[in-house]
Amino acid sequence: MRIAALALALALAPLAAHADQPLSAGQRFAQDAIIVDTHIDAPTGLLRHWADLGLDTPKVEFDYPRARQGGLDIAFMSIYTSPGEDAAGTATQTAHTQIDAVEAMVGRRPEQFAVLRSPKDFERLNAHNQRVLLALGMENGAPIGDDLSRLKLFFDRGVRYITLAHSEDNRISDSSYSRKRTWKGLSPFGEKVVDEMNRLGIMVDVSHLSDDAVRDVLARSKAPVIASHSGLRHFTPGFERNLSDELAKAVAAKGGVVQVVFGNAFVDPASAADTQAYFVASAKFEEEQAAARKRGETPKSSEAFDKQWEAAHPPRTVKIDAVLDQIDYAVKLLGADHVGIGSDFDGVSGALPEGLKSVADYPNLIDGMKARGHSDETIRRVLGGNLLRVWAEVEAKAVRS
C-alpha cells in the first residue's frame, strides 16, 4: 500500500538507502502498517537551531525522508520544558514557542507534514500515504502553572497527552528522579489536572512519575492512561523511572498502554545505573551551587557540569535485543493489546541501541519481532494500533463544553 511513498523517501535519503535496493520484509511491513511513535524530541532541537526537517538532516534522528523510509505515520512531537524553566517562569512561553515551531514546519512543508488532532482524522490527512502526521505531547506539566484554564488553551493548540512531571517535583506531581517527594504522589492541584484532562480528552501520561504518583493517577483517572516512553523495571532493578510489573499491569488493567522506550538509559542496566548516578550527582551539584550563591560566590554552570559528566560517562554500546527483550516481556506480562513504542529519538543525545538510531530503523524492530515469533497482528498492535485505540477511548470519554 505504501511502497510508492517508500521509493520517494529512499530517493530523498541516499545516505541511508538506495531506491533500487529490494525492500526487506521489515520495510514492506513498515510501509503497510500504521506506526505511531509517542515521543520524539524534535521541537527542542528546532529552538536551539532551526532546520528544515522536510529534507535529509543527518545531525538529527527525525526528518521526513527517514521517517517515510522507516514507515512512520504519526510522530508525537514532545513539547518539553525543564524544571529550570518552570522555576524561572518561562515554561509556558517555551511550550508555545515549540508548538509554533511545529506549526512552522507544517506550514513550510504541507505536502510532507500535517498536525493530527484526533485519530478520526488519520485517514483524511494521510489519504495518499505521503505525509507524516505530527501530534503533540507535552513533556512536563509545568507550562500549566497553577492555572487549570491553560489546559484548554493547550488542548486547542493540539496537545493530546501531558507527562505530568519530568525530572523534579512540580505543582502537579512527584517525579521518579526526585529525592524530595513533595506530595507523596499527586498534589491536590494535580488531582484537578487529571480531572480536567479527562474532561477535555487529553491522555494522562505517567512516564517520569514516582510510583506513588502513578498509583494516584490510576485511582483518579476515569479514562485509560499511557506511559509515553517508559521501560520495564524488571530489566533495571531499582530504577524508578521505569515501571514496575505491578504498575505496568495496573496501567493495562485500566485499558492503557505502555509505550516501550528505545534509549539506552531505560533498556540497559548499566546505562540505567549511570542515569541514576547522574541525577544524584546533579542534585548534589545544584545544592552546592545554591550554597555558593548564599555565600556571595559565583556559582558554576549546570552546562559545565553536564559536559564534564558526559565526558566521564560516554554512551555504552547496546544492542537492539535490549529493546526486543522489553517488548517480549511486556507482551507476555500485559498482553498484546497494551504495548506500544515511544522511542525518545532526539531526546537521549544519541545514546540509542545499534539498529535503532533514527526513525528510518523501525523495520529493524519489525524484523526482530518477527524473528522472535510475534504474529503480524501483534506487531501491528504494538507499532500503533494500541495507542490509537487508547487515544480514541480517551477522546470518547471527554465531556468538553
| Model confidence pLDDT, tens digit, residues 167-223 | 999 999 999 999 999 999 999 999 999 999 999 999 999 999 999 999 999 999 999
SS3 at position 135: strand
Residue 39 buriedness (CB in 10 A; 0-12 / 13-18 / 19+): buried
Residues of the chain with pLDDT > 70: what percent?
Answer: 94
Q: What is the dihedral of CA 308, 311, 313, 314, to 10 degrees?
A: 150
> Could you tell me which residues come within 8 angstroms of residue 225 by beta carbon, excluding any fewer than 6 positions away?
203, 204, 205, 206, 217, 218, 251, 254, 256
Cell numbers given for 5: 511513498
Q: For 11-58, how does the pLDDT look when each residue is reduced to its tens digit (9 = 90+)?
A: 344 334 444 567 889 999 999 999 999 999 999 999 999 999 999 999
8 A C-beta contact, residue 163 and residue 228: yes
Q: Give tens-digit pLDDT for 105-145.
A: 999 999 999 999 999 999 999 987 799 999 999 999 999 99
Q: Which residues of 292-307 are buried (b: 16+ CB within 10 A; e: fewer)?
A: eeeeeeeeeeeeebee
Question: One-letter amino acid identity for 26?
Answer: G
The CA–CA distances, whole Å, from 155 to 47, 151, 152, 199, 202 equal 21, 6, 5, 11, 7
Distance from CA of residue 343 to its chain's centroid? 6
Is the pLDDT reported for residue 4 higher than 70? Answer: no
- Kindly tell me if the per-residue pLDDT of 3 is higher than 50: no
> Per residue, what are the HEC states of 188-246?
HHHHHHHHHHHHHCCEEECCCECHHHHHHHHHHCCCCCEEEEECEHHHCCCCCCCECHH
The vertex-231 CA angle with 226 and 233, nearest 5°, equals 115
pTM over 0.95: no
Residue range 302-319: average pLDDT? Answer: 90
> Residue 334's closest CA among 385, 386, 380?
386
Asked if the model's pLDDT at residue 99 lies above 60, the reply is: yes
Residue 337 grid cell: 493489546
Instruction: Give residue 7's pLDDT.
Output: 39
Q: Give 317-373 pLDDT, tens digit per residue.
A: 999 999 999 999 999 999 999 999 999 999 999 999 999 999 999 999 999 999 999
**Residue 298, SS3 per DSSP:** coil
274-289 per-position pLDDT tens digit: 888 888 898 889 889 8
How does residue 233 score in pLDDT terms, banded at 50, 70 and 90? very high
225: alpha, beta or left? (left if phi > 0; alpha if psi -120 to 50) = beta
Q: Work out the average pLDDT over 283-301.
A: 89
Residues 203, 211: contact at Cβ < 8 Å? no
